[in-house]
Chains A and B, each alone.
Chain A
């Protein structure tokens, strides 16, 4: 029976890894991988295209969650949503980027665990609110931020949303993953109550919170150190009579005229 396994499709795994490592354009990497994999499995050309087409239609739901909120978010950004989020957080004296993100992490995990997975997300929460707040809280303490720090804060905001979502949602019994797991085990002749699978997700969820929150806590220290060094450097340069060339702040101006 083991002779039946065709190992050639593994070439696809090699293609995609090499493609990403050599930093070719991801769209090209993906389409070349798809064609190479299907070819290695012995599909003729028309079946290769049909397999790609069917797959592309089946996954149409994936971009909805990104595309649909864009009009609202764009309109609100045009009217100062990001600036207001920054002003609002900087009025809270005890706010730091790390503390803000820890609170968000906890809230995201708990709400995802009770099934409210849509209470966060990158287009509707991270870009318009969370990332500007993390930047605003840091700016209120240290003044204008260099772009490197700004980008770090944004990356951590996105990462925190992901960690909170992933390690919260599996505690919710009705979530698709739990159903998938119990169905698969049932077909293998093992019956497990979905509630037990959900409960055994809790230890990992607690570890996830502890690890990521500790890293966010440390982020505050890193920011303090790096920004102090940056301030000293800027002051030294200004002392020599050169103006400092900080990158400008708002997201939209990054691509502006």
Chain B
């Protein structure tokens, strides 16, 4: 049997369904019904999302956004242990605490690298299309078993802790997927074409340096809008890169592509649209300012973008 990403969806759906039940049962959560509905709808997306007509899923996504948008997702009360209890436990378990934590990346890595060789009777054990994510899932399950054994806790406690952290994240957990969806709506609606049309029609690119700067900065700006360098690359490269940098100035395409994409990544550092990298970590680290991670990245991103303009100019026309 091959472990596929579909199995992970069932696993995540089950975790979210349990979270929903725990939330509704939690009398300390002032918004237990609306929060419970939010997590229940989200669990359905994973459990049966691909079986439902897309219109229903779309309606469900809109309902989820409305619940979250009008403050319907609240957190339950999770009583922390006392600082003394944490210290005692930390002293008792010591470096062994690192083992399950480091086991997740380690198992993910081993799974990813050895996936090609893990076959039984010609059938791969790990879905070759999603080796990293499936290995991550395996790593998390194995590591949970290890952590339960080490701390003498039950997997149910693990689920309670999972809900505690899910509560801390709140709707921010769903934001990356919402933004990913928006990116697809943008491309279906032709936003990319419109942006490319505007950039190429209104900027004078007769000067080679200006053309380089437009491509580099355009990649960053477009990534800020779309939240993803992969979405910006075809648009900017099709609109400016291929016709002007290659077509008119005959630059080196490998340099153009490499530095262009990395300029897009500078944009990723600057945008709340890249929720997985910027907004979710702020929620995960319980920072009061949702943009704190972006603020910490702005100087690095702008300095690097400036470097990229010059690197592009000097390396592409060696």
Contacts and interface: CB of A to CB of B under 8 A. Distances in A.
Contacts of B176: 59, 62-63, 66
Interface string B69-100: 11100010111110100111111011101101
B124 to A, nearest CB: 17
B272 A26 contact: yes
Interface in A107-142: 115-129, 131
A27 B198 CA distance: 28
Interface string B169-195: 101011111111111111011110111
B54 A200 contact: no
Contacts of A27: 64-65, 68-69, 171, 174-175, 178
B45 interface: yes
18 contacts: A12-B189, A13-B225, A24-B69, A26-B279, A52-B61, A60-B9, A62-B176, A78-B161, A79-B151, A79-B153, A83-B90, A154-B292, A155-B287, A159-B269, A159-B297, A184-B238, A204-B311, A256-B78
Question: Chain B: interface secondary structure?
Answer: helix
A162 interface: yes
Interface string A2-19: 100111011011001100
B185 A50 contact: no
A136 B56 CA distance: 49
A219 to B, nearest CB: 9
Contacts of B252: 200
Contacts of A37: 182, 185-186, 189, 191
Interface stretch (A92-100, A208-216, A227-235, A236-244): A208-216
Interface string A182-212: 1011001010110011111101110110011
Contact of A256 (B79, B104, B130): B79
Contact of B300 (A38, A123, A163): A163
Interface in B209-257: 225, 229-230, 233-234, 237-238, 242, 246, 252-255, 257
A245 interface: no
B158 A252 contact: no
A119 to B, nearest CB: 5
Given A9-B186, A74-B158, A80 B246 contact: no
A200 B242 contact: no
Q: Which of A57, A88, A126, A193 neighbours the largest number of chain B CB atoms within 10 Å of its CB?
A: A57
Interface string B276-298: 11111110111111001101110
A90 interface: no
B164 A74 contact: yes
Contact of A72 (B78, B83, B98, B144): B144
Given A66-B276, A156-B296, A118 B233 contact: no
B118 interface: no
Nearest to A62: B176
B258 A201 contact: yes
Contact of B288 (A6, A151, A192): A151
A75 B150 CA distance: 10
Q: Which of A70, A122, A200 neighbours the largest number of chain B CB atoms within 10 Å of its CB?
A: A70
Contacts, number: 457
A151 B233 contact: no
A80 B87 contact: yes
Interface string B20-50: 0000000000000000000000000110011
B144 A48 contact: no
B299 interface: yes
Contact of A73 (B101, B180, B195, B253): B101
B197 A5 contact: yes
B169 to A, nearest CB: 7
B9 A208 contact: no
Contact of A158 (B45, B133, B171, B293): B293
B57 interface: yes
Given A28-B69, A34-B182, A65 B83 contact: no
Contacts of A41: 188-190
A204 B315 CA distance: 11
B311 A188 contact: no
B90 to A, nearest CB: 3
B133 A197 contact: no
Contacts of B272: 20, 26
Given A10-B194, A30-B179, 15 more contacts: A52-B185, A53-B60, A55-B181, A59-B181, A63-B174, A72-B144, A82-B86, A88-B95, A122-B285, A126-B285, A155-B282, A156-B296, A177-B230, A201-B258, A255-B168
Contact of B258 (A40, A118, A197): A197
A67 B293 contact: no
A204 B262 contact: yes
A118 B185 contact: no
B131 to A, nearest CB: 10
Given A127-B285, A207-B311, A79 B276 contact: no
B49 A57 contact: yes
B308 A25 contact: no
